[in-house]
Structure 1
Amino acid sequence: MNHFPESWGRPRDDIYGTYNPAYLQSTGPKAHTQSPAVTGTSVIAVKFNGGVAIAADNLASYGSLARFTDVKRLRKFSDTAVVGFSGDVSDMQYMDRLLESIDIRENYSTHGNMLNAKNLHTYLSKVLYKRRSEFNPLWNHILVVGFDGDKKPFLSSADLLGTTYSAPHLATGFGAHLAVPILRRLFPEDRPTEDITKEDAVKALRECLKVLWYRDARSLDKYSLAIITEEGVEIKEDQRLENQSWAFAETIRGYGAQVV
């Protein structure tokens, strides 16, 4: 066999003749990924008076294995918006490259960077819908936060089908089942966004992340937090949940490597 990397697994040309890859050409239908492999879980966001706060943990799971523990799933776009990704990590990286190319093009344009969070959400939702229409979806559910053209706090969602919706607080993944009820209790519909302070929003996000850490098997206690205000975007990475209760297991006789 030829042991050069570019020819691994192929017969040696000097013995068996030139390798002919023509049989690999096919006119059959394209086959796309039907399920994501490495995935991130919930993203949570809340509007408050003067801005939006968003958080996501740093775990990327390979199936049920907590494989990568330092994956940042919040992406800053210029000084106008932040995009939070859940779902397939490779598709997240693809969309991140799209955002980088748009950001470069905008910064080199004669008008400067004019895209706000609402424009960005519209673009990404169209990308997701186009890929879905090609039966090759991007396996992501995203939250876009920032400000719209009227300088009002903006928070909206888009999923792999291109479906979009907005609300004062949103979550993806298991957060849609576990975190949103907490946020609805803390911030009921009759409580206007103007009454919610930045501290209230951040505290609520940390409480939701703590519940997800206990209840979602694909979550992690290390997370990233972004706060978007008129002053700009503040991102805090590698934050850790405080006052955890899992430490009690270490005192249980017979737990882990302890000798009974």
Structure 2
Amino acid sequence: MDSVSESQRTLYPYVTGSSVVAIKYKDGILMAADMGGSYGSTLRYKSVERLKPIGKHSLLGASGEISDFQEIMRYLDELILYDNMWDDGNSLGPKEVHNYLTRVMYNRRNKFNPLWNSLVLGGVKKGQKYLGTVNMIGINFEDNHVATGLGNHLARPILRDEWNENLTFEEGVRLLEKCMRVLLYRDRSAVNKIQISKITEEGATVFPPFSLKTYWEFSAFKNPTVGAEGSW
């Protein structure tokens, strides 16, 4: 019998991260994600970082399979290194990186071996803010606020009601905290350990993780403003 091994494909993800939520604000881009990593239906890991700076101008957030996200980071590290080797005084902006990711995701989908991630890519270059998303089959778009996973169903309605282009940093953080709190209440894969990052013309900052305050009393659900944090 022929002993040639058959091609193997990932049929379902193993360790996954939940939603990423991102918005444009007055000075740049804000992004938030929790740090949970679910092994199937078991919340196995609670310190998984899913927000990463890319080059000088971009910030990446990922939902889905953690090992595939690590593979994407390897691709991006090679891309940024190759770009820096030109030493021509120019560097890839967020739009170029987003376009690259859409080609990677669509290419892998056409090979029937997709990377099981939904990605959010934001950044600022030459004063222009950019925010886009792409999923595992290459569907992509640009918007003023984006979300992946259940955030696309639960956080986007909040953002449509409350987002505006002149949000300050503090207002933007409070809005993201509100979205992440709703996701924590409704998404069994979410944890209350949150990471928030920003990127402006000066570069990216990933803030230390913190525990999101939760309010389970009935009065907290009657008054949606209860629990707004102003520590930023």
Give the structure-2-normalised TM-score: 0.88
Question: Mapping of 1:200-239 within 5 angstroms?
Answer: 200-239=171-210
Q: Which residue number corresponds to residue 252 of structure 1?
A: none
Q: Which residue number corresponds to residue 160 of structure 2?
A: 184
Distance in structure 2 (CA, Å) of the matches to 1:121 and 1:42: 18
The one-letter code sitting in structure 2 at the alignment partner of 1:179 is A
Q: Which residue number corresponds to residue 94 of structure 1?
A: 71
The aligned length equals: 218
The one-letter code sitting in structure 1 at the alignment partner of 2:33 is A
Q: Which residue number corresponds to residue 122 of structure 1?
A: 99
Distance in structure 1 (CA, Å) of the matches to 2:61 and 2:151: 13
- Is contact 1:80-1:232 (8 Å) kept? yes
Distance in structure 1 (CA, Å) of the matches to 2:19 and 2:3: 40
Q: Over the residues paired in the alignment, what is the CA RMSD in angstroms? A: 1.8
- Is contact 1:131-1:138 (8 Å) kept? yes
Q: CA deviation at 1:24?
A: 4.2
Q: CA deviation at 1:247?
A: 9.1
Q: Which residue number corresponds to residue 53 of structure 2?
A: 76
Q: Which residue number corresponds to residue 133 of structure 1?
A: 110
Three-state SS of the structure 2 residue aligned to 1:206 is helix
- Is contact 2:56-2:91 (8 Å) kept? no
Structure 1 unaligned spans of 5+: 1-21, 249-260
Q: CA deviation at 1:236?
A: 0.6
The one-letter code sitting in structure 2 at the alignment partner of 1:65 is T
- Is contact 1:76-1:82 (8 Å) kept? yes
Distance in structure 2 (CA, Å) of the matches to 1:237 and 1:223: 9
- Is contact 1:84-1:144 (8 Å) kept? yes
1:245 aligns with 2:200: no
Q: Which has the higher contact order (CA 8 A, sep 6+)?
A: 2
- Is contact 1:170-1:176 (8 Å) kept? yes
Q: Which residue number corresponds to residue 36 of structure 1?
A: 13
Give the structure-1-normalised TM-score: 0.79
Q: CA deviation at 1:73?
A: 0.4
Return the index of the structure with the highest Cα Rg: 1
- Is contact 2:55-2:92 (8 Å) kept? no
Compared with structure 1, are the counterparts of its residues 151 and 67 closer, same or farther at alpha carbon in structure 2 (3 Å cutoff)?
A: same
Q: Which residue number corresponds to residue 197 of structure 1?
A: 168
Render the CA deviation track for 1:226-253: whole Å, top value 9, x for unaligned.
11111211111322212x22599xxxxx
Q: Which residue number corresponds to residue 165 of structure 1?
A: 141
Q: CA deviation at 1:109?
A: 2.3
Q: Which residue number corresponds to residue 50 of structure 1?
A: 27
Seq. identity, % = 38
Structure 2 unaligned spans of 5+: 219-232
Compared with structure 1, are the counterparts of its residues 246 and 65 closer, same or farther at alpha carbon in structure 2 (3 Å cutoff)?
A: farther
Distance in structure 2 (CA, Å) of the matches to 1:135 and 1:204: 38
- Is contact 2:114-2:136 (8 Å) kept? yes
